[in-house]
Amino acid sequence: MIAMAAVIVCFDSLATRGCYRVRFVDQGDERALQAALEEKPKLVLVESPSNPLLRVVDIAKICRLAREAGAVSVVDNTFLSPALQNPLALGADLVLHSCTKYLNGHSDVVAGVVIAKDPEVVTELAWWANNIGVTGGAFDSYLLLRGLRTLVPRMELAQRNAQAIVKYLQTQPLVKKLYHPSLPENQGHEIAARQQKGFGAMLSFELDGDEETLRRFLGGLSLFTLAESLGGVESLISHAATMTHAGMSPQARAAAGISETLLRISTGIEDGEDLIADLENGFRAANKG
């Protein structure tokens, strides 16, 4: 599976209790994927683009291979939302969204949704949701519907800001590595160009320095909020090793390619020039050491 850290930790925890077996696979590695599918899994979970390195995989191909292996395919589409990617049309059986993120878009709801292609599965999911009480509250649902009305224009503006920030970060000496699906060197760039309706508003970069450099950079920011979430109208920045992926061991993070100085940005809808000026302040502060 490819999935966000919280999902990985949850599955790993349940697996150690003997509930089921879990195999984590780089689904961009076709040989590793084929080997995993030969074990006849019941479920294949994909997140594309992935968190936090924005790796993109061929959803249609993986869903087809999962179906041939007798597995249910599940795609976490949180990072792009339905405005930019439609996994059901690509062959997924189920699609997940953290509605807290782009679907709501205002950082004032905690919610999630599972979307199924098969009407019988929809009925079964609704039965379980009703019986174990995992349905959304009335006001939360109202706020979510409000947010959905502005999803497309929010995504368009956030994407525009992300592209401007990517272009700016490419010029910065302190940026060691940069991750965004729009970059030709990003894993799955060509797939993203045909699979997605846009490259999205999430990006990550490695800072060239140590913990003190990181502290000074983050301390120099005022417009970006240091927070773990994403997908709101405000721009956020997070440190993977101590925030979003702190639940993973240092060894697991290293194996996943997540460095100790990796920062993730969720671009909001503020003025793009203001965001770049704020990052400039951060780099200026980082260089003072």
- Strand, helix or coil for residue 175: strand
Q: Of 148, 183, 217, at which residue does a domain stop?
A: 148
For residues 281 and 223, the answer to whether their CB atoms sit within 8 Å is no
Pairing of strands 262-266, 225-226: unpaired
Structural domain containing residue 218 = 151-286
Does 31 share its domain with 128?
A: yes
C-alpha distance from residue 81 to each of 49, 205, 230, 276 (Å): 11, 22, 12, 25
What type of residue sits at position 14? L
pLDDT of residue 6: 65
Q: Of 95, 124, 148, at which residue does a domain stop?
A: 148
Number of Cβ within 10 Å of residue 148's Cβ equals 17
pLDDT of residue 247: 83
Pairing of strands 43-47, 94-98: unpaired
Mean per-residue pLDDT of the chain = 94
Q: Smallest Cα–Cα separation from 85: which of 3, 201, 1?
A: 201
Residue 97: beta bridge partners? 113
Q: Of 148, 178, 206, at which residue does a domain stop?
A: 148
What type of residue sits at position 53? L
Does 10 share its domain with 144?
A: yes
What type of residue sits at position 47? E
Does 94 share its domain with 198?
A: no
Contacts 24+ apart (CB under 8 A), 113-121: 115/88, 117/88, 117/92, 117/93, 118/93, 121/93, 121/94
Does 102 share its domain with 167?
A: no
Residue 12 has pLDDT above 80, yes or no: no
C-alpha distance from residue 228 to each of 137, 244, 245 (Å): 24, 6, 10
Residue 7 has pLDDT above 60, yes or no: yes
What type of residue sits at position 98? S
As a whole number of angstroms, the distance between CA 114 and CA 137 comes to 16
For residues 34 and 161, the answer to whether their CB atoms sit within 8 Å is no
For residues 167 and 272, the answer to whether their CB atoms sit within 8 Å is no
Angle between helices 30-37 and 59-68 (to 10 degrees): 30
Lowest mean pLDDT among 14-18, 49-53, 87-91, 271-275: 14-18
Lookup: tokens for 1: 């599976």
- Strand, helix or coil for residue 133: coil
Whole-model pTM: value is 0.92
Number of structural domains (the chain) is 2
In angstroms, what is the C-alpha Rg of the chain? 19
Cis ω on the peptide bond leading into residue 184 (within 30° of 0)?
no
Determine the average pLDDT of the residues in 254-283: 97
Does 249 share its domain with 176?
A: yes
Does 9 share its domain with 134?
A: yes
Burial of 17 (0-12, 13-18, 19+ CB in 10 A): exposed
Residue 1 has pLDDT above 50, yes or no: no
For residues 229 and 108, the answer to whether their CB atoms sit within 8 Å is no
pLDDT of residue 141: 96
Q: What's the CATH number where 155 sits? A: 3.90.1150.10
Residue 155 has pLDDT above 80, yes or no: yes
As a whole number of angstroms, the distance between CA 172 and CA 143 comes to 39
